[in-house]
Amino acid sequence: MKQHPFDQLKNLVLIFAGNTLYALGVVMFILPGGMITGGTTGIALTVNHYFHVPISVFVFCFNLIMFIIGAVVLGKKFALTTLISTFYYPFILGVLENVPALGNFTNDVALSTIFGGLMIGSAIGIVIRAGASTGGMDIPPLVLNKKFGIPVSVLLYVFDSSILLMQMLFSNKDQILYGILLVMIYTVVLDKVLLLGTTQTQVKVVSKKYAEINQAIISELDRGSTLIYGETGYLHQEQPLVLSVVSNRELTRLNQIVMGIDPSAFMIISKVNEVKGRGFSSQKIYQKKES
C-alpha cells in the first residue's frame, strides 16, 4: 500500500534524526572515552588504530561497498531504504568530529558508556521504526540470511562479537569491560525503542455480570471486546469471559468500571508487545448492529 506523503516526510525526518543522533553518540561519548563497540564504527576504530585511516572516511567507503552488495542481492526496495543512512551517517559523523566542544563533553568513562549506549540504541531504533536500515554491518547478516537461511539475530551476535574481539587486541581490560557493557545497553535500548508505543494491555474478565461489563467496555471506553465461552473448573458451569485489549493509560479506568459493576470479578491482566487491527494499527470503523 502506498504511503501518504506526510508519512513519507515523517519517515525521512526520522531517518536523518536517527543517523544524526547515532553520530552524536559516537563523537560525544565513544571516541573521547576510547571505548570499543560493535558494528561499522567498531571496524572503523580497529582500522584507525592500525592504519590511521579517518573514521568517517572508512565508514563512508565501507558503507558504500555494503550498499552495493545489498542492492545487488536484496533488491531496489532495500537499496532505497538504506540509501540515506549509507551516505548521510559518514557525512554528519565527519562534520561533528570537527566540533571541539562535543569531544570534551565528559571525561567519565562510565557516563560515556551509559549515555553512548542510550543514544546509539535509540538512534538505531528510530531509523528501523522509520522503515530503513543504518546500513554498514546491518547488511551482511541480511545477505547471508537470504543466501543460506542463517537467522539474522545469530549473525548479528557473531559479527558484533568478532568486531569486539578485534578491538580487544589493542584495548585494556577496562575498555573491554566498558565496551561489552556499551553493546548490552544499546541492544536493550534498541528493543525498547522498537516496542515504544506498540505495547498494549490485554484484559480477561471472569464475572457473572459479564454482559454489563462487556457493554461498559464498548460504550464507556470505546474499545472492542470478545466473549470467550468457557466453563468453571469446579462446578462446571458455563462462564463467558470478556476479552479486551486497551492502552496502558486506559487500564486504570477499565479496572474502575469492572470493580464498579462487580467487585468480586476475577481479572487477568497481561502485556502484549503489539496489536494489529482496527482501533490500533488501522482506523476504527463503526458498524451498525443488525436488528
pLDDT in tens, 255-270: 999 999 999 999 999 9
Amino acid (1-letter code) at residue 160: D
* Mean pLDDT confidence for 135-156: 83
- Whether residue 237 is predicted with pLDDT greater than 90 in this model: the reply is no
| pLDDT band, very low/low/confident/very high, at 134 (cuts 50, 70, 90) | confident
Which 3 state secondary structure label does DSSP give 272?
A: strand
Q: Which residues contact 79 (CB under 8 A, 6 or more apart)?
A: 67, 70, 71
Reference 220, options 253, 244, 242; nearest CA is 253
pLDDT at site 16: 94
Radius of gyration of the chain (CA): 25
Residue pair 50/171 in contact (Cβ under 8 Å)? The answer is: no
Rounded (to 5) percent helix, strand, coil in the chain: 65, 10, 25
Report DSSP state, residue 166.
H
Pick the closest to residue 143 from 71, 63, 41 (CA basis): 71
In the chain, what are the domains? 5-195 (no CATH), 200-272 (3.30.70.120)
What is the average pLDDT across 213-226? 91
1 has a pLDDT exceeding 50: no
pLDDT digits (tens, 9 = 90+) for 15-29: 999 999 999 999 999
User: What letter represents residue 159's amino acid?
Assistant: F
The CA-atom distances, in angstroms, between 24 and each of 116, 168, 172, 221 are 9, 24, 25, 42
Q: How long is the chain?
A: 291
Average pLDDT over residues 92-99: 93
